[in-house]
Structure formats: C-alpha cells, structure tokens
Amino acid sequence: MYPLPFESLEKTIGYTFKDKNIISNALTHSSFANEHKMSGKHCECNERLEFLGDSVLSLIVSEYIYDKYGKRPEGELTKIRAQVVCSRSLSSFANKISLGDYLYLGKGEEASGRNKPTILENAFEALIAAIYLDSNSSKETVAKFLLPLLSDGIEEASEDQMAHDYKTSLQHFVQASGKDKIQYILVNEYGPDHQKTFEVEVRLNSNVVGKGSGKSKREAEQAAAKEALALFDVK
C-alpha cells in the first residue's frame, strides 16, 4: 500500500530527519496538496523545496567536479555537470532509492505518477533540500548522501566528454579530408571484472592509425583517437 512509511527511506539514504514535517513536505506532490486544499485542509507541496534543492545539487556537484577535474577547461566542466544533473539522470537516481514508493500523490497521479521521470526528478531535488535544511544547511551531510549516487555518473560524463572531444575532432578531420569512415575496434581486454583494462584500435580502411588503452571502452577509444590525431598532426 502506497506511500510506504518514510522511515524506510531514511534507512535507505542513511539520514534520519529531526523534523519529520520537512521530509513529509519533500514527498508531497502538488496533486496531493491540491486535493487536500479543496477539502479545506492545509497541505504544502514540495515545489519550494525543489527550487532550493536544484541550487544545492548544482553547488555540490560543481565543487566535486572542480576538485576532481579542476585542470579541465571551464566548458568541459560545465558539460560534465549538465550531463549529471539533467532530468534523465536525476530520475534514475530517484529510482535507485525507490523514491517513487514514498510519494504522496493525488488520485489522478496514483496510476502512473510513481514512475514519471518529471515527478521523480522534482521529488529528488526536494529531498536534497530537505536534508540540507534539516541538517542546519550542512553541505557535507547532503554530499554524504548524494555523491555515492552520483559518482559513477560523474565519471561516465567525464569519460564521455573526453571521448567526445578527441573522437569528434578525428571524425571532422576524416570527413574534411574526404577519407573513408573510421572504425573503433576492441582488440583486447584483460584483468579482473572490477578492474579491467581495454585496448582499442582506430582504423582507417584496413590501416591502424591509433591505439589506446583505458579502464573503460570509452577511455580506450578516446586515447586511440588522440593518438590518431597526433599521427595526422591535427592540433
């Protein structure tokens, strides 16, 4: 029977609220609040918390990216952050903690609202704000909850950004030169499942023009593209 007791959510996120009203507020969708207003009862939805949570999320992610990838250009840092805090990413983080199971929804949203990406995204931001306010504006407390959820996504976004830069530059060069299409071929992988190394070749027709290795296929591909750009003397 939904919603589930938010005490279970507290166990999942590793944070116990001192003010139970604030977590209840964070889990209340506007459809539920509006139904209660119509019956003469006061009930605040999570939209104001969502507004604050968006800013707290952006600050914590920005600080983490700056500390970890601070030598990268500002444009790259911005793109990494944008990929991590986009709607699709936030709704997936909400799903990781089964946030939809705890939401107070109006009758019109009960059928499918617990799985709606927009509702989950907004509730996730509201939850961030709720932790922030309940912990006396402690970014450290929010980060303790948030970063374990986001760290893999940040790493993937970083790799995507590197791969996009070198692979796109190589693709543009190949197209401008009127040459045939390039291919990225995985030629080897070794090591235990949790610490594999991948080796990739980038080929132009049957010729190998670059090789690269990395802890993921994306990283190996970007290394291969970088080597190919050096071979063609493309800056």
Q: Can 125 be counted among the known catalytic residues? A: yes
Q: Which residues pair with 176 in a beta bridge?
A: none
Catalytic residue among 50, 76, 125, 134: 125
- The yes-or-no answer on residue 134 being catalytic is no
Catalytic annotation, pick one of 54, 109, 201, 219:
54
Q: Which residues are catalytic?
A: 54, 125
